Amino acid sequence: MGLDALAVSAVAEGPPAPVLVVAPVVAFGVAFAVVWVLRRNLFGPLRILDEPNERSLHQAPVPRTGGAGVLLGVVVGLLVALPWWVGSLAGAFWPVLATALLAAVSLVDDRRHVPAPYRLTTQLLSALLLYTSGLAWSRLGLPGLEQQALPAWLIPPLTLAFVVWMTNLYNFMDGMDGLAGGMAVLGFGALAVLGFRAGAADFGLLAAVVAAAAGGFLLHNLPRAGIFLGDVGSAVLGFWAAGLVLWGAERGLFALWVGLLVFSPFLVDATWTLARRLLRGAAVWRAHREHHYQRLVLAGWTPRQTLLRAYVLMAAAAASAIGGQSLTVSEQWLLLLAWAGLYWLVHLRVELAERAGAGAAAER
């Protein structure tokens, strides 16, 4: 049974309304409790600290296994709905296996560092398993061109590149207290709204459970954070974001551009930063402090100040994506052009902040 057949079964045998509420609440509670234990280093096997270095924004060692709490929260939350969900789980086998593989290698990376080639190989294999389940970037997905089929030869490499990039960019953007957790709450929350509005209770519940578990973690991660996601959390959240965007678009719950707009605060920042580093010949796989949010903090903004503005941007992107579906095709293009202009203004604002910060430092 593929994911499409799984979806049909899930819609027909979906969980009752109370379960749609209870499952996210349980996911939130489990994630919050597990992360509470992990941040206090009460579970020895997962006592992994993130030591500050020249590229860090934090000043003291911080536990970096919060992602394990998010994963456990999602698992328990989904188990609550399992008896009502589907008669067969065959369609979910490959995505679950991909998640387990990615999480295991990422956890090892958190503890003792896995060389980049091995991490990339794992990400590619996980993306391939997702593709095997039937998820693919098969249509153009732009306003008015949602159903325009892509050339068959382009679909596999485009799908794999998209999933791997989403997996990595979430990791790249997980460098400031509350940022990645907030994107998960708002991003997956928006996907949940889109799923429920389209009548896909299974999709909406899955996204809502992820958002709720991320919320349980986020309460421990706000400035000053008591714990970080770690690679085990950031890589898996990015992987899930890619999978749900592709699944929602494949099922016609929303156009692909809608899902991309939801996560555009991370997509644009990470892609822009990578492109700049490539153009000047920098090693793109090395850690750095050149993302917009990092540059603002280094320019003198406080983490709370930067985070608040990032949340406004994320919420606006999510609201635009949800509301954009009801617009005409021409209005949807205008919306996307407006967001392109807004992101250009964000870039200019970061440069102005850096100049102001440099000027203030020179005066001192």
299 contacts 290 by C-beta, under 8 angstroms: no
Query: For position 131, what pLDDT does the model report?
Result: 94
Contacts from 171-174 at CB under 8 Å and sequence distance 24+?
171/231, 171/234, 171/235, 171/238, 172/270, 172/273, 172/274, 172/291, 173/234, 173/266, 173/269, 173/270, 173/291, 173/293, 174/228, 174/229, 174/233, 174/234
279 falls within a domain? no
Rounded to whole angstroms, how far apart are CA atoms 206 and 117?
Answer: 31
Query: For position 5, what pLDDT does the model report?
Result: 43
284 falls within a domain? no
182 contacts 219 by C-beta, under 8 angstroms: no
Query: For position 219, what pLDDT does the model report?
Result: 94
Rounded to whole angstroms, how far apart are CA atoms 86 and 292?
Answer: 43
Q: For 219, what's the count of Cα atoms within 13 Å in the CB-facing half-sphere?
A: 16
- Report pLDDT digits (tens) over 47-69: 666 655 555 554 567 777 888 99
Nearest alpha carbon to residue 102 among 89, 119, 115: 119
Counted domains in the chain? 1
* 214 or 89, greater pLDDT: 214
98 contacts 129 by C-beta, under 8 angstroms: yes
pTM over 0.75: yes
Q: Specify which of 76-90, 264-278, 285-299 reaches the highest per-range mean pLDDT.
A: 264-278
300 falls within a domain? no
Q: Residues for the chain: how many in total?
A: 364
**How much is the mean pLDDT over the chain?**
86
- Report pLDDT digits (tens) over 191-226: 999 999 998 988 999 999 999 999 999 999 998 878
Q: Comparing 112-116, 263-267, 276-280, 320-324, which segment has the lowest mean pLDDT?
A: 276-280
Percent of the chain beyond pLDDT 90?
56
CA distances from 156 to 128, 136, 150, 161 (A): 9, 7, 11, 9
200 falls within a domain? yes
- Report pLDDT digits (tens) over 104-148: 999 888 888 888 889 999 999 999 999 998 899 999 999 999 889
280 falls within a domain? no
68 falls within a domain? yes
Structure tokens given for 271: 């892609």
pLDDT at 15 over 50: yes
Question: Can you give the residue range of the structural domain that contains 86?
Answer: 3-255
- Beta bridge partner(s), residue 17: none
- Report pLDDT digits (tens) over 169-192: 888 888 888 999 999 999 999 999
**Element at 63 (helix H, strand E):** strand 62-63
323 falls within a domain? no
353 falls within a domain? no
